[in-house]
Every structure is written in C-alpha cells, then in structure tokens.
Structure 1
Amino acid sequence: MDELKIDQTFLNDALENRRVYSLLKTIIKIGKILNAKVVVEGVETAGQLEILIKKGVYGQGFFYSHALPAEEFEEWYLKYYTKTT
C-alpha cells in the first residue's frame, strides 16, 4: 500500500469533537507507520487544513479549488505551481 486516503467524514467534525479528532489522529498514525502517503479528503476550511499541516499529511478539497474542466485546470496549475528555474 502506497497511499492511505481518509474520507472527509473523519475531518468534518474533528474541530468540534474530541473523539473524532482522536480517531483521525489514530488513522493518520497508522498510515505513517505503514510508510504510506496520507491524504485526507474534504478540506474546506483553513482550520481543517491547519490540522493536516500539523500532522504532516496531504489534503484535497474545495479549500484549494472546485472541480475544474481540463483547460481551466491547466491554467490554475500553471498559475500556482509553475516552478521558476
């Protein structure tokens, strides 16, 4: 297993519910023990992103962008991820 993808339901209530937050932390730990890339779905707020940054994992969701057609994605990607030489 190379990647562990965590469903957004674990992230949604993590800021308000200690039990859910503990469960999310535990799942992330399992992923790291397995030496897998950990990705959490459903990032919609800066608070959620902050949790993931502190845990050193990746996030995906509307916080970054809504789904885009291929042409718009290319523009978005070049705007934010073009590396300078």
Structure 2
Amino acid sequence: MARQRACVWLDLRNAAATFNLEVINPADWTYIALKTVPVDQTVAPGWRLHTVSWTAQRSDVVLRLTVGKAFNHPFAPRAELDDVVVQCAC
C-alpha cells in the first residue's frame, strides 16, 4: 500500500494555541488522518514543520488546517502557513 503525507510550515504567534493538520475523506467528511499539536510559540516563536501521514485509501482528499485559541489568552493567535505539500510514496 502507498503511504501519503502532508507537510506544512507554521509560524504561530501572539498566543498559545492548538494546531490541527486534518486529512478528510470528501465522500463522507470523516477523518483519514489527524494530527493535533499544542503550540506555545510565545516563548520561542519561529517556523516549525508539521507532518501527518496515512495509508492511501483514495486519490482525492481534503486537507484542512485549523488554529484554535488555547486557554483564556487575551490575544488571538496569528498563524502564517507556507509550503503546504502532499506527497505519495510506494
């Protein structure tokens, strides 16, 4: 079976947050893969690579990237994304 992976560089600032890298089946909107990362870049801001992998089940997927505010921080997180890549390897 072929393995697939999605990668994205994330720079998150202003507040602690949770970052989700979601791979979704477009036929029924169920998760194929999900990686949830708590990120607190208020201490050490900068670009970080996040990756999720899965066994290929279909040729088309929906890739969704979400950022949710953590705790009751007074500021909303600011996210910058770059170089989103989906790869397949046999």
More relative contact order in 1 or in 2 (CA 8 Å, sep 6+)? 2
Larger fraction in helix: 1
Larger fraction in strand: 2
> How high is the TM-score relative to the length of structure 1?
0.29
